[in-house]
Chain A
Amino acid sequence: MTATLTTCPYCGTGCMLYLLSDGQGRLVGVEPSAGHPVSRGQLCVKGWNAHAFVQHPDRLKTPLVRRNGTLEPAGWDEALDLVHQRFRQISAAHGPDSLVFFSSAKVGNEENYLLMKLARVGYGTNNIDHCARLCHSSTVTGLVETLGSGAMTNTVACLDETDLVLVIGSNTTEQHPLIGSRILQATQRGCRLIVADGRRIKLSRHADLHLRHRNGTDVALLNGIMQQILELGLENRAFIEERTENFTALQESLAAFTPERVAAITGLQADEITAAARMFGTAKRAMLLYAMGITQHSHGVDNVRAVSNLALLTGNLGKPGTGVNPLRGQNNVQGACDMGALPDVLTGYQKVAEPSVRDRFAAAWGRPLPDRPGLMATHAFDAALAGRARAFFILGENPVLSEANQAHVVKALAAIDFLVVVDIFPTETSAFADVVLPAACYAEKDGTFTSTERRVQRFRRALPPPGEARADWEILSALLERCGLPAGYPGPGQIMDEIAAVTPSYGGISYPRLEESGLQWPCPNHDHPGTPILHRQSCTRGKGRFSPVDFRPSRELPDAAYPLLLNTGRTGMHWHTGTMTRRSHLLDREEHSAFIEIHPEDAARLSIRDRQQVSVESRRGEVRVMATLTDRVPLGQVFMPFHFVEGAANALTNNALDPESGIPEFKVCAVRITPC
């Protein structure tokens, strides 16, 4: 029996757990880490089942190469040579920007770093991005502008000392359960809770105030709350004067957001908005927590700005129990962003457009860097259809199920010349691939993940990978070498040393310092203890900037032809496209098939019974799923999780993008439902 201390592979909360194996190479269970500051001897249901998919027989065990239309087993050298040769050919014929690289928020920091290095100096393009484009690109854009750093400002432990929590657009008990449970514990000790969410999520049952505003009206709601805070004189004048700029512009922008107007836009009562303002404005310390309900809109960046404005207006920044706290989705989405797996920045958000930054990296890497920011993942599919993007390298992502407007993605993947997929299981995306490379999963390799609270922590190898599967860092090293770049890293620890040398915020991070519960960045040097709370004396950018925003409606709202608003998201049992959780026995048993939540009154009007199969259609596609009648959703709204290939929510969603962050509008589109 062995016990390997590692980090959970699911959400960004960053719990640590022991993977238990029976000594004969079989994983038998999971035990939470007692001493870890976030897990504290506890886990959520996915954490308790984190071992369950690892040894599933479906694991990819050998490289596959498409021959005469069929994916067939091949040797590693053959497969890697083919990848390199085709990428070189396509780059020679169409330019390096015809290549597109998707990195993964599921692999380690070291692996994200190597892939962005491979894209930039191996193949000469900044076309590197990953699924943060689909979750918190709005946060990175919005908070960098207002605060100077696009990450959670405070820590999870701050929930123990706050007086009020405002949760907006986050189903925390299901999506970040060990943060959600910490909120429930806070309410037990008397902390007040405001939940702003159209759905009756579990947290709302514990809320002092539940604001069920219409999907897509967050800017109006937040502006309305701020307008009332000013009206009631509850703003923090001293903080505004000392720590912020552009207040007058904010003040002017809010004037029009009277409770009556906001009530008309949001569907709330005017006095609910005033009550929220009073509650939030009078709290000594208040924390703002948000997630995809804020970011996944065609005005996602504006939503983030509004959240940031509210924190600045009330001085809830830079001290314990406060802050703007975006909850990052994937276990390493924070790290993948930190590592520069983004088209416009290198590690630590250093801009590729900045010549001095490129010079520094060119000196470290021994090759010049491309100077033009690359394509966002969501734009890459358009580029593929336009013939500008010809070859995709997709590491640990499944865009066929995860991107908005599935038909668009499928068309794009069918149109390109060459597709490489690196993954642990066959996926709906790997079905299109010319080469499939089998990867080790988190339990079979070493590395680091960075959690939502910026905590860089180790994951550790508990058993060898299946068959010939290799760690992603080994696969990427082999490609770097084929590009003539030195990549003889003895292990991920040495890759982290290279990261630390080129990344100021990770400057003090090294494996020996991460042995127990990790370090929170910024950690600029080897004596630095890490930074639990950002913006303490001043913001990263200096003054906190108020960024006034106006209300823009969602791009596709219900109408006579498509009368219901479709909201999409996740459930507590499954993870994203189900690659792992649908192969975990208990999780898959609990939620076994695709469903849509519909209000009983809407269902009655449409003659739909509970558990009946229904057809759901949008302007982009149609799927068949089971109806679940529940008043969790408001009247006129339906909700679908995107986990299920047999009822893919993203066949319906709208790939209308935020103009700045490129995030699709996953949270709002129009559908019609008919019984089957």
Chain B
Amino acid sequence: MLKRLDRADLEKLLAALATGYRLLTPQRLADGTRLHRPHGEGALALQGEPVQRKPTEAFFPQHDPLLRIGEQGEVTTCDPPDRPVALFGLNAADLACIAFIDRFFADPPADDHYLARRKDALLVGLTGFAGPGGDFLPPANGMCDLELLALGQNWLGVPWTPRGEALLEGFPDGEQAEVEELQETARTRGNPAQDLLEKAAGLVASEVVPDDFWREIGDRCILCSGCNLACPTCTCFCVEDRQEQAATLRSRVWDSCQFDAFMREASGHNPLGTEALRTRRRIHHKLAADVTRWGEFGCLLCGRCDRVCPTGIGIQAVAAEILARFGA
């Protein structure tokens, strides 16, 4: 099944989504920030860089109340919102990131709290000519319920699940040849960023990157923790307890492995006690450890850590530097 939607059809699809879901769509705010916002709050921004905030936030929020412990010690869990979320406008990298942390949270012991939000959620990909200024974004080829391939003023609708299929019901049919043309464009363009990452990962895994290099990169870290907070595949959290009247509210809060306290022992000793070691860990985890654990990189090239880093040491920048210096 393949459909072809014009702008009116797209609005119709969004209206249908908004009836069953808390629909979030990419919108450009007054200061230029592109964020996922409740649909209808502002104008849709159908083209542009990836939404600034990581999309995995919908299932794993920055500050997430888990449970309340009452005066008598009774525990009540905090329930997720009534209506499931529909995330509209995800590119291939973002969809891959969601798939990555789905596997992490579903892996036994499964994280019920995450799954409660995730299980009925709907994902809508938006690829094709939907990048900044209408730049090309490679098709996701799955990882979502339905994918819209932007062709300018029209979109090809490809369902990937029965729910996606139902939502596309009734729209005019599309031409398979147009999808193939987009696939061909993706093939021709290749993925130079992925190539670079693979080469850098090879160097990191084979331990040819010396400690001095990590010291140098660590010296440039101002410890904002933004790389971790922006990364859709970072899943580390800490637990915060707060007294609210007589009850204690326990929440999980995004953490950062760049903090000294992340690994510091009660004795004060820290096996990752220097910026150099922590920087190495940040890169090594994504490019080497995750490969061992999951069989793929923990970096899906969404670009957020490079965008958020005030000193230019996001993962792609570091990978490029590794390659330039040790790749010969």
Residues on A close to B: CB < 8 A? Answer: 1, 3, 5, 16, 18, 20, 22, 26-36, 41-45, 47-48, 51, 56-57, 173-174, 177-178, 180-182, 184-185, 188, 202, 205-206, 515-517, 572, 585-586, 589-590, 592, 610-611
Contact = CB atoms under 8 A, between A and B. Distances in A.
B243 A43 contact: no
Contact of A34 (B33, B229, B259, B312): B33
B226 A33 contact: no
A42 B33 contact: no
A48 B224 contact: yes
Given A3-B35, A42-B310, A516-B31, A31 B261 contact: no
Interface secondary structure of A, over-half rule: mixed
Given A5-B31, A185-B312, A586-B238, A206 B62 contact: no
Contacts of B238: 585-586, 589
Given A42-B224, A185-B310, A206-B219, 5 more contacts: A5-B29, A31-B52, A42-B309, A56-B242, A585-B253
B222 A180 contact: yes
B31 A44 contact: no
A29 B251 CA distance: 13
Contact of B260 (A181, A188, A590): A590
B226 A57 contact: no
B164 interface: no
A589 B310 contact: no
B33 A177 contact: no
B122 to A, nearest CB: 17
B285 to A, nearest CB: 19
Contacts of B24: 1
A35 B32 CA distance: 5
B172 interface: no
A56 B220 CA distance: 33
A585 B237 CA distance: 12
Given A42-B309, A585-B253, A590-B260, A177 B222 contact: yes
8 contacts: A29-B63, A34-B33, A42-B310, A43-B226, A57-B243, A181-B222, A185-B312, A585-B240
B310 A178 contact: yes
A45 B223 contact: yes
Contacts of A47: 224
B80 to A, nearest CB: 11
Contacts of B259: 586, 589-590
A16 B29 CA distance: 13
A45 B29 contact: no
The range of chain B's interface size is 35 or more
A205 B219 contact: yes
Given A42-B309, A177-B310, A35 B31 contact: yes
B242 A57 contact: yes
A586 B224 CA distance: 12
B38 interface: yes
A516 B32 CA distance: 10
A34 B34 contact: yes
B31 A36 contact: yes
Contacts of B243: 57
By Cβ-Cβ distance, the 10 closest A-B pairs, closest first, are: A35-B32, A181-B310, A29-B62, A35-B31, A34-B33, A42-B310, A585-B240, A28-B63, A611-B268, A205-B219
B31 A48 contact: no
Contact of B37 (A3, A185, A590): A3
Interface in B236-260: 238, 240, 242-244, 253-256, 259-260
A449 B308 CA distance: 24
Nearest to A47: B224
B242 A42 contact: no
B61 interface: yes
B282 interface: no
- Of the candidates A18, A27, A56, A517, the one having the most CB atoms from chain B within 10 angstroms of its own CB is A18
B226 to A, nearest CB: 6
B261 A590 contact: yes
A51 B62 CA distance: 11
A156 to B, nearest CB: 12
Interface string B185-222: 00000000000000000000000000000000001101
B63 to A, nearest CB: 5
B222 A44 contact: yes
B311 interface: yes
Contacts of A586: 225, 238, 253, 255-256, 259
A85 B24 CA distance: 54
A589 B63 CA distance: 16
Contacts of A592: 261
Contacts of A44: 222, 224, 310
Contacts of B52: 31-32, 34, 41
B229 A48 contact: yes
